[in-house]
Structure 1
Amino acid sequence: MVDVAGRVAVVTGGRRGLGAALVDELLARGARKVYATGRTAFADARREVVTAELEVRSAESIAALAARAADAELVFNNAGVLRPAALLTGDIDSATETFDVNVFGPLRVARAFAPILAGHGGGALINMHSVLSWLAGSGAYGASKAAAWSVTNSLRLELAAQHTQVVGVHAGFIDTDMVAAIRRPKATPAAIAARIIDGLESGATEVLADEVTHTVKAALSGPVEHLTFSAAG
Protein backbone atom coordinates (compact mmCIF):
# COMPACT_ATOMS: atom_id res chain seq x y z
CA MET A 1 0.00 0.00 0.00
CA VAL A 2 1.50 3.30 -1.12
CA ASP A 3 0.16 6.77 -0.40
CA VAL A 4 0.69 9.27 -3.19
CA ALA A 5 0.91 12.37 -1.00
CA GLY A 6 4.48 13.65 -0.76
CA ARG A 7 5.81 11.11 -3.28
CA VAL A 8 7.85 11.56 -6.44
CA ALA A 9 6.43 9.83 -9.53
CA VAL A 10 7.43 9.09 -13.10
CA VAL A 11 4.72 8.84 -15.78
CA THR A 12 5.86 7.66 -19.18
CA GLY A 13 3.67 8.96 -21.99
CA GLY A 14 2.60 11.73 -19.64
CA ARG A 15 2.11 14.39 -22.27
CA ARG A 16 -1.47 13.60 -23.23
CA GLY A 17 -4.36 11.17 -22.87
CA LEU A 18 -4.33 8.86 -19.87
CA GLY A 19 -0.76 9.84 -19.05
CA ALA A 20 -1.70 13.51 -18.70
CA ALA A 21 -4.70 12.50 -16.56
CA LEU A 22 -2.41 10.47 -14.32
CA VAL A 23 -0.15 13.49 -13.86
CA ASP A 24 -3.18 15.61 -12.93
CA GLU A 25 -4.51 12.99 -10.50
CA LEU A 26 -1.13 12.51 -8.82
CA LEU A 27 -0.82 16.25 -8.24
CA ALA A 28 -4.40 16.46 -6.97
CA ARG A 29 -3.57 13.84 -4.36
CA GLY A 30 -0.48 15.65 -3.16
CA ALA A 31 2.43 14.20 -5.12
CA ARG A 32 5.53 16.30 -4.50
CA LYS A 33 6.96 15.99 -7.99
CA VAL A 34 5.99 14.25 -11.23
CA TYR A 35 8.34 13.50 -14.11
CA ALA A 36 6.17 13.41 -17.25
CA THR A 37 7.72 12.07 -20.43
CA GLY A 38 6.98 12.38 -24.12
CA ARG A 39 8.72 11.22 -27.26
CA THR A 40 9.46 14.86 -28.07
CA ALA A 41 10.14 17.84 -25.86
CA PHE A 42 7.15 19.65 -24.32
CA ALA A 43 6.49 22.17 -21.59
CA ASP A 44 4.34 22.18 -18.45
CA ALA A 45 4.04 25.38 -16.42
CA ARG A 46 3.35 23.66 -13.11
CA ARG A 47 6.36 23.80 -10.79
CA GLU A 48 5.76 20.22 -9.59
CA VAL A 49 6.02 18.80 -13.10
CA VAL A 50 9.37 18.01 -14.70
CA THR A 51 9.09 17.18 -18.39
CA ALA A 52 11.53 14.91 -20.19
CA GLU A 53 11.99 13.29 -23.57
CA LEU A 54 11.89 9.50 -23.53
CA GLU A 55 12.11 6.80 -26.17
CA VAL A 56 11.21 3.51 -24.49
CA ARG A 57 12.88 1.55 -27.30
CA SER A 58 16.24 3.04 -26.28
CA ALA A 59 18.11 1.77 -23.23
CA GLU A 60 20.25 4.91 -23.36
CA SER A 61 17.21 7.20 -23.26
CA ILE A 62 15.77 5.27 -20.31
CA ALA A 63 19.11 5.35 -18.48
CA ALA A 64 19.23 9.12 -18.91
CA LEU A 65 15.74 9.44 -17.44
CA ALA A 66 16.63 7.18 -14.51
CA ALA A 67 19.71 9.29 -13.76
CA ARG A 68 17.61 12.44 -13.81
CA ALA A 69 14.73 10.93 -11.80
CA ALA A 70 16.85 9.26 -9.14
CA ASP A 71 14.36 10.43 -6.50
CA ALA A 72 11.46 8.48 -8.05
CA GLU A 73 9.26 6.42 -5.74
CA LEU A 74 6.41 5.59 -8.13
CA VAL A 75 6.83 4.57 -11.77
CA PHE A 76 3.88 4.47 -14.16
CA ASN A 77 4.58 2.56 -17.40
CA ASN A 78 1.95 4.22 -19.55
CA ALA A 79 3.70 4.83 -22.90
CA GLY A 80 2.48 2.57 -25.70
CA VAL A 81 1.41 2.26 -29.32
CA LEU A 82 -1.79 0.93 -30.88
CA ARG A 83 -1.35 -0.81 -34.23
CA PRO A 84 -3.93 -3.61 -34.48
CA ALA A 85 -2.86 -5.00 -37.87
CA ALA A 86 -3.50 -8.69 -38.50
CA LEU A 87 -0.73 -11.02 -37.40
CA LEU A 88 -0.57 -12.96 -40.67
CA THR A 89 -0.97 -10.14 -43.18
CA GLY A 90 0.16 -7.05 -41.31
CA ASP A 91 3.60 -5.53 -41.70
CA ILE A 92 6.05 -7.58 -39.61
CA ASP A 93 8.20 -4.53 -38.83
CA SER A 94 5.15 -2.82 -37.36
CA ALA A 95 4.41 -5.87 -35.22
CA THR A 96 8.02 -5.94 -34.05
CA GLU A 97 7.87 -2.27 -33.08
CA THR A 98 4.59 -2.85 -31.24
CA PHE A 99 6.21 -5.52 -29.08
CA ASP A 100 9.34 -3.40 -28.60
CA VAL A 101 7.29 -0.46 -27.30
CA ASN A 102 4.51 -2.26 -25.40
CA VAL A 103 6.46 -5.18 -23.91
CA PHE A 104 10.18 -4.50 -23.88
CA GLY A 105 9.74 -0.76 -23.29
CA PRO A 106 8.08 -1.21 -19.88
CA LEU A 107 10.55 -3.97 -19.05
CA ARG A 108 13.49 -1.68 -19.84
CA VAL A 109 11.95 1.01 -17.62
CA ALA A 110 11.37 -1.50 -14.81
CA ARG A 111 14.97 -2.74 -14.98
CA ALA A 112 16.34 0.81 -14.88
CA PHE A 113 14.16 2.00 -12.02
CA ALA A 114 14.10 -1.14 -9.82
CA PRO A 115 17.29 -0.16 -7.94
CA ILE A 116 15.96 3.38 -7.49
CA LEU A 117 12.68 2.11 -6.07
CA ALA A 118 14.57 -0.26 -3.78
CA GLY A 119 16.61 2.66 -2.49
CA HIS A 120 13.39 4.42 -1.47
CA GLY A 121 11.89 1.51 0.43
CA GLY A 122 10.29 -0.27 -2.51
CA GLY A 123 7.74 2.19 -3.85
CA ALA A 124 5.53 1.02 -6.67
CA LEU A 125 5.62 0.04 -10.34
CA ILE A 126 2.34 0.45 -12.24
CA ASN A 127 2.01 -1.09 -15.72
CA MET A 128 -0.81 -0.27 -18.15
CA HIS A 129 -2.33 -3.27 -19.92
CA SER A 130 -5.68 -3.49 -21.70
CA VAL A 131 -8.87 -5.50 -21.77
CA LEU A 132 -7.50 -6.62 -25.16
CA SER A 133 -4.82 -8.54 -23.25
CA TRP A 134 -7.52 -11.20 -22.93
CA LEU A 135 -9.35 -10.88 -26.28
CA ALA A 136 -8.31 -12.23 -29.67
CA GLY A 137 -8.84 -10.05 -32.71
CA SER A 138 -6.62 -7.01 -32.21
CA GLY A 139 -3.51 -8.44 -33.85
CA ALA A 140 -0.09 -7.49 -32.60
CA TYR A 141 -1.49 -4.94 -30.17
CA GLY A 142 -3.54 -7.45 -28.18
CA ALA A 143 -0.73 -10.00 -28.32
CA SER A 144 1.72 -7.41 -27.00
CA LYS A 145 -0.58 -6.47 -24.15
CA ALA A 146 -1.03 -10.15 -23.24
CA ALA A 147 2.75 -10.45 -23.10
CA ALA A 148 2.99 -7.29 -21.02
CA TRP A 149 0.47 -8.74 -18.56
CA SER A 150 2.66 -11.82 -18.16
CA VAL A 151 5.76 -9.67 -17.71
CA THR A 152 4.04 -7.68 -14.97
CA ASN A 153 2.99 -10.81 -13.11
CA SER A 154 6.55 -12.14 -13.16
CA LEU A 155 8.00 -8.77 -12.15
CA ARG A 156 5.68 -8.80 -9.14
CA LEU A 157 7.43 -11.94 -7.90
CA GLU A 158 10.93 -10.70 -8.71
CA LEU A 159 10.38 -7.33 -7.01
CA ALA A 160 8.65 -8.69 -3.91
CA ALA A 161 11.93 -9.05 -2.02
CA GLN A 162 12.57 -5.31 -2.28
CA HIS A 163 8.97 -4.53 -1.22
CA THR A 164 7.94 -2.91 -4.49
CA GLN A 165 4.18 -2.91 -5.06
CA VAL A 166 3.59 -4.01 -8.66
CA VAL A 167 0.20 -3.07 -10.09
CA GLY A 168 -1.19 -4.27 -13.41
CA VAL A 169 -3.94 -2.08 -14.87
CA HIS A 170 -6.53 -3.35 -17.33
CA ALA A 171 -8.99 -0.98 -18.99
CA GLY A 172 -11.33 -0.91 -21.94
CA PHE A 173 -11.52 2.00 -24.33
CA ILE A 174 -10.51 5.40 -22.97
CA ASP A 175 -11.47 8.62 -24.73
CA THR A 176 -8.04 9.52 -26.11
CA ASP A 177 -6.54 10.20 -29.52
CA MET A 178 -5.25 6.61 -29.66
CA VAL A 179 -8.74 5.12 -30.10
CA ALA A 180 -10.55 8.09 -31.64
CA ALA A 181 -11.49 6.05 -34.73
CA ILE A 182 -13.06 3.19 -32.75
CA ARG A 183 -16.80 3.60 -32.22
CA ARG A 184 -17.23 2.09 -28.79
CA PRO A 185 -18.30 3.47 -25.39
CA LYS A 186 -15.29 5.10 -23.77
CA ALA A 187 -14.38 6.14 -20.26
CA THR A 188 -12.80 9.50 -19.57
CA PRO A 189 -9.05 9.55 -18.87
CA ALA A 190 -9.73 11.33 -15.56
CA ALA A 191 -12.07 8.56 -14.36
CA ILE A 192 -9.58 5.81 -15.22
CA ALA A 193 -6.68 7.72 -13.66
CA ALA A 194 -8.64 8.09 -10.41
CA ARG A 195 -9.39 4.37 -10.31
CA ILE A 196 -5.74 3.53 -10.90
CA ILE A 197 -4.59 5.73 -8.02
CA ASP A 198 -7.39 4.36 -5.83
CA GLY A 199 -6.07 0.85 -6.51
CA LEU A 200 -2.48 1.86 -5.85
CA GLU A 201 -3.34 3.48 -2.53
CA SER A 202 -5.48 0.53 -1.44
CA GLY A 203 -2.63 -1.94 -1.99
CA ALA A 204 -4.06 -3.60 -5.11
CA THR A 205 -1.94 -5.80 -7.35
CA GLU A 206 -4.42 -5.56 -10.24
CA VAL A 207 -6.83 -2.79 -11.20
CA LEU A 208 -9.83 -3.61 -13.41
CA ALA A 209 -10.69 -0.04 -14.29
CA ASP A 210 -14.16 -0.37 -15.84
CA GLU A 211 -17.19 -2.63 -16.19
CA VAL A 212 -16.18 -4.22 -19.50
CA THR A 213 -12.85 -5.27 -18.02
CA HIS A 214 -14.55 -6.94 -15.05
CA THR A 215 -16.86 -8.78 -17.47
CA VAL A 216 -14.05 -10.03 -19.71
CA LYS A 217 -11.84 -11.07 -16.79
CA ALA A 218 -14.71 -13.13 -15.41
CA ALA A 219 -15.05 -14.89 -18.78
CA LEU A 220 -11.46 -16.18 -18.81
CA SER A 221 -12.56 -19.47 -17.32
CA GLY A 222 -14.96 -20.06 -20.22
CA PRO A 223 -14.34 -21.32 -23.78
CA VAL A 224 -11.41 -19.53 -25.39
CA GLU A 225 -13.27 -19.08 -28.68
CA HIS A 226 -15.64 -16.70 -26.87
CA LEU A 227 -12.77 -14.33 -26.04
CA THR A 228 -12.79 -12.29 -29.23
CA PHE A 229 -12.94 -8.62 -30.12
CA SER A 230 -14.30 -6.79 -33.15
CA ALA A 231 -13.77 -3.05 -33.63
CA ALA A 232 -17.15 -2.97 -35.36
CA GLY A 233 -18.86 -4.07 -32.17
Structure 2
Amino acid sequence: MITDPVNRFIEALHCFPALPRVFNPWFSVDPEHDASSLAPTHRIDNLSRYLTERLGRAKVILIAEAPGYQGCHFSGIPMTSERILLGQLTHKGIYPGDVLSGEVTRCSRTDGPVGRRGAKEPTATVVWQAIKTAGLDPRECVLWNAFAFHPFDTDMLTNRKPSSDELRDGLPMLHQLLELFPDAQRVAIGKVSKGILDKLDIPTSAELRHPANGGITAFRTGFAEYVGRL
Protein backbone atom coordinates (compact mmCIF):
# COMPACT_ATOMS: atom_id res chain seq x y z
CA MET A 1 0.00 0.00 0.00
CA ILE A 2 1.25 3.51 -0.88
CA THR A 3 1.08 5.68 2.23
CA ASP A 4 2.94 8.80 1.10
CA PRO A 5 0.22 11.29 -0.01
CA VAL A 6 2.19 12.68 -2.97
CA ASN A 7 3.09 9.23 -4.29
CA ARG A 8 -0.50 8.09 -3.80
CA PHE A 9 -1.72 11.05 -5.84
CA ILE A 10 0.82 10.49 -8.60
CA GLU A 11 -0.09 6.81 -8.73
CA ALA A 12 -3.69 7.89 -9.30
CA LEU A 13 -2.58 10.18 -12.13
CA HIS A 14 -0.47 7.39 -13.61
CA CYS A 15 -3.38 4.93 -13.52
CA PHE A 16 -6.04 7.33 -14.77
CA PRO A 17 -8.14 5.61 -17.48
CA ALA A 18 -7.16 6.51 -21.04
CA LEU A 19 -9.43 8.97 -22.85
CA PRO A 20 -9.56 9.73 -26.59
CA ARG A 21 -7.39 12.70 -27.62
CA VAL A 22 -6.07 13.14 -24.08
CA PHE A 23 -2.37 12.77 -23.28
CA ASN A 24 -1.36 11.63 -19.79
CA PRO A 25 2.16 13.03 -19.18
CA TRP A 26 2.76 10.70 -16.23
CA PHE A 27 1.87 7.50 -18.07
CA SER A 28 2.03 7.95 -21.83
CA VAL A 29 4.96 8.33 -24.18
CA ASP A 30 4.69 10.86 -27.01
CA PRO A 31 6.35 8.60 -29.60
CA GLU A 32 7.15 11.39 -32.04
CA HIS A 33 8.42 14.05 -29.65
CA ASP A 34 9.63 12.37 -26.44
CA ALA A 35 13.34 11.60 -26.26
CA SER A 36 12.82 8.09 -24.89
CA SER A 37 10.36 5.66 -23.37
CA LEU A 38 11.52 6.86 -19.94
CA ALA A 39 9.94 10.29 -20.43
CA PRO A 40 6.87 9.54 -18.24
CA THR A 41 9.19 8.37 -15.44
CA HIS A 42 11.11 11.63 -15.62
CA ARG A 43 7.88 13.63 -15.58
CA ILE A 44 6.71 11.67 -12.53
CA ASP A 45 9.97 12.50 -10.78
CA ASN A 46 9.57 16.19 -11.63
CA LEU A 47 6.03 16.34 -10.29
CA SER A 48 6.86 14.32 -7.19
CA ARG A 49 9.64 16.66 -6.16
CA TYR A 50 7.61 19.73 -7.08
CA LEU A 51 4.64 18.76 -4.92
CA THR A 52 6.66 17.34 -2.02
CA GLU A 53 8.65 20.54 -1.66
CA ARG A 54 5.37 22.46 -1.21
CA LEU A 55 3.65 20.21 1.33
CA GLY A 56 2.87 22.16 4.49
CA ARG A 57 4.18 25.37 2.89
CA ALA A 58 1.75 26.30 0.11
CA LYS A 59 -0.40 29.36 0.73
CA VAL A 60 -2.11 29.52 -2.65
CA ILE A 61 -3.05 27.18 -5.51
CA LEU A 62 -3.33 28.85 -8.90
CA ILE A 63 -5.73 26.85 -11.05
CA ALA A 64 -5.91 27.21 -14.83
CA GLU A 65 -7.99 25.24 -17.32
CA ALA A 66 -5.88 22.38 -18.70
CA PRO A 67 -2.25 21.57 -19.59
CA GLY A 68 -0.83 22.52 -22.96
CA TYR A 69 1.74 20.91 -25.23
CA GLN A 70 4.30 23.65 -24.54
CA GLY A 71 4.23 23.10 -20.79
CA CYS A 72 3.07 20.15 -18.69
CA HIS A 73 2.98 17.80 -21.69
CA PHE A 74 6.80 17.64 -21.55
CA SER A 75 7.69 18.97 -18.09
CA GLY A 76 5.10 17.07 -16.05
CA ILE A 77 4.44 20.23 -14.02
CA PRO A 78 1.45 22.49 -14.77
CA MET A 79 2.16 25.97 -16.17
CA THR A 80 5.86 25.12 -16.27
CA SER A 81 7.75 24.78 -19.52
CA GLU A 82 10.60 22.38 -20.03
CA ARG A 83 12.67 25.40 -21.02
CA ILE A 84 12.35 26.70 -17.45
CA LEU A 85 13.46 23.36 -15.99
CA LEU A 86 16.46 23.27 -18.33
CA GLY A 87 17.68 26.69 -17.13
CA GLN A 88 16.96 28.43 -20.43
CA LEU A 89 14.98 31.34 -18.93
CA THR A 90 17.37 32.59 -16.28
CA HIS A 91 17.72 35.81 -18.27
CA LYS A 92 14.06 36.41 -17.40
CA GLY A 93 14.71 35.81 -13.71
CA ILE A 94 13.27 32.27 -13.64
CA TYR A 95 15.55 29.47 -12.42
CA PRO A 96 15.08 25.70 -12.30
CA GLY A 97 15.55 25.85 -8.53
CA ASP A 98 12.46 28.05 -8.27
CA VAL A 99 10.43 25.05 -9.43
CA LEU A 100 12.21 22.12 -7.79
CA SER A 101 15.54 21.10 -6.34
CA GLY A 102 18.02 18.81 -8.06
CA GLU A 103 18.82 17.86 -11.63
CA VAL A 104 16.22 17.51 -14.37
CA THR A 105 16.32 15.09 -17.29
CA ARG A 106 15.07 16.45 -20.58
CA CYS A 107 11.98 14.65 -21.93
CA SER A 108 11.58 16.16 -25.41
CA ARG A 109 13.77 15.34 -28.39
CA THR A 110 16.47 17.88 -29.17
CA ASP A 111 16.09 17.28 -32.91
CA GLY A 112 12.30 17.60 -33.01
CA PRO A 113 9.93 20.54 -33.55
CA VAL A 114 10.09 21.43 -29.85
CA GLY A 115 13.65 22.70 -30.43
CA ARG A 116 17.01 22.21 -28.80
CA ARG A 117 16.20 24.55 -25.87
CA GLY A 118 12.97 22.76 -24.97
CA ALA A 119 9.39 23.94 -25.30
CA LYS A 120 8.60 27.46 -24.15
CA GLU A 121 5.10 28.27 -22.93
CA PRO A 122 4.29 32.02 -22.80
CA THR A 123 1.79 31.61 -19.96
CA ALA A 124 4.32 29.68 -17.88
CA THR A 125 6.89 32.43 -18.31
CA VAL A 126 4.46 35.14 -17.23
CA VAL A 127 3.15 33.19 -14.25
CA TRP A 128 6.60 32.30 -12.92
CA GLN A 129 7.84 35.86 -13.36
CA ALA A 130 4.80 37.09 -11.43
CA ILE A 131 5.50 34.66 -8.59
CA LYS A 132 9.08 35.88 -8.36
CA THR A 133 8.36 39.61 -8.56
CA ALA A 134 5.39 39.51 -6.17
CA GLY A 135 7.74 38.43 -3.39
CA LEU A 136 6.05 35.08 -2.85
CA ASP A 137 8.31 32.16 -2.02
CA PRO A 138 7.90 29.77 -4.98
CA ARG A 139 7.37 26.91 -2.50
CA GLU A 140 4.31 28.77 -1.18
CA CYS A 141 2.56 28.52 -4.55
CA VAL A 142 1.19 25.46 -6.33
CA LEU A 143 0.25 25.56 -10.01
CA TRP A 144 -2.44 23.18 -11.23
CA ASN A 145 -5.29 22.76 -13.72
CA ALA A 146 -9.00 22.02 -13.42
CA PHE A 147 -8.37 19.10 -15.81
CA ALA A 148 -5.02 17.49 -15.03
CA PHE A 149 -4.28 16.01 -18.45
CA HIS A 150 -3.44 17.46 -21.88
CA PRO A 151 -6.41 17.52 -24.26
CA PHE A 152 -5.15 17.73 -27.84
CA ASP A 153 -6.90 18.26 -31.15
CA THR A 154 -5.31 17.06 -34.39
CA ASP A 155 -1.94 15.95 -33.01
CA MET A 156 0.15 16.07 -29.83
CA LEU A 157 1.42 19.59 -30.52
CA THR A 158 -2.07 21.11 -30.38
CA ASN A 159 -4.38 22.15 -27.56
CA ARG A 160 -8.14 22.14 -27.08
CA LYS A 161 -10.59 22.80 -24.28
CA PRO A 162 -11.53 19.82 -22.12
CA SER A 163 -15.11 18.65 -22.59
CA SER A 164 -17.70 18.59 -19.83
CA ASP A 165 -17.40 14.81 -19.66
CA GLU A 166 -13.61 15.00 -19.37
CA LEU A 167 -13.87 17.58 -16.60
CA ARG A 168 -16.30 15.33 -14.75
CA ASP A 169 -14.06 12.29 -15.18
CA GLY A 170 -11.02 14.25 -13.99
CA LEU A 171 -12.72 15.77 -10.95
CA PRO A 172 -11.34 13.15 -8.49
CA MET A 173 -7.81 14.16 -9.50
CA LEU A 174 -8.55 17.80 -8.75
CA HIS A 175 -10.01 16.93 -5.36
CA GLN A 176 -6.99 14.78 -4.51
CA LEU A 177 -4.63 17.62 -5.40
CA LEU A 178 -6.58 20.06 -3.23
CA GLU A 179 -6.49 17.58 -0.35
CA LEU A 180 -2.68 17.69 -0.42
CA PHE A 181 -2.82 21.40 0.41
CA PRO A 182 -5.90 21.86 2.63
CA ASP A 183 -4.80 25.23 4.02
CA ALA A 184 -3.98 26.85 0.66
CA GLN A 185 -6.34 29.35 -0.92
CA ARG A 186 -7.63 28.48 -4.41
CA VAL A 187 -7.32 31.12 -7.12
CA ALA A 188 -8.74 30.75 -10.63
CA ILE A 189 -6.68 31.97 -13.58
CA GLY A 190 -9.15 33.31 -16.12
CA LYS A 191 -12.92 33.33 -16.52
CA VAL A 192 -12.95 29.90 -18.15
CA SER A 193 -11.19 28.33 -15.17
CA LYS A 194 -13.46 30.19 -12.75
CA GLY A 195 -16.54 28.95 -14.60
CA ILE A 196 -15.26 25.38 -14.56
CA LEU A 197 -14.47 25.49 -10.85
CA ASP A 198 -17.87 27.02 -10.06
CA LYS A 199 -19.58 24.31 -12.10
CA LEU A 200 -17.58 21.66 -10.24
CA ASP A 201 -18.48 23.28 -6.89
CA ILE A 202 -14.81 24.07 -6.13
CA PRO A 203 -14.79 27.31 -4.05
CA THR A 204 -12.19 29.95 -4.91
CA SER A 205 -10.94 33.01 -3.05
CA ALA A 206 -10.19 35.07 -6.17
CA GLU A 207 -10.18 35.18 -9.96
CA LEU A 208 -7.23 36.59 -11.90
CA ARG A 209 -7.17 37.74 -15.51
CA HIS A 210 -5.57 35.10 -17.74
CA PRO A 211 -2.22 36.30 -19.16
CA ALA A 212 -3.16 35.30 -22.71
CA ASN A 213 -4.78 37.61 -25.27
CA GLY A 214 -3.43 40.85 -23.87
CA GLY A 215 -3.94 40.02 -20.21
CA ILE A 216 -0.31 40.01 -19.04
CA THR A 217 -0.35 43.36 -17.25
CA ALA A 218 -3.73 42.71 -15.64
CA PHE A 219 -2.57 39.29 -14.44
CA ARG A 220 0.66 40.64 -12.97
CA THR A 221 -1.12 43.51 -11.23
CA GLY A 222 -3.91 41.31 -9.93
CA PHE A 223 -1.54 38.65 -8.66
CA ALA A 224 0.70 41.19 -6.90
CA GLU A 225 -2.34 42.73 -5.21
CA TYR A 226 -3.59 39.29 -4.19
CA VAL A 227 -0.23 38.28 -2.70
CA GLY A 228 -0.16 41.58 -0.82
CA ARG A 229 -3.38 40.52 0.96
CA LEU A 230 -2.13 37.08 2.01
- TM-score > 0.5, shorter chain as reference: no
User: What TM-score comes out, normalization by structure 1 length?
Assistant: 0.29
User: What TM-score comes out, normalization by structure 2 length?
Assistant: 0.30
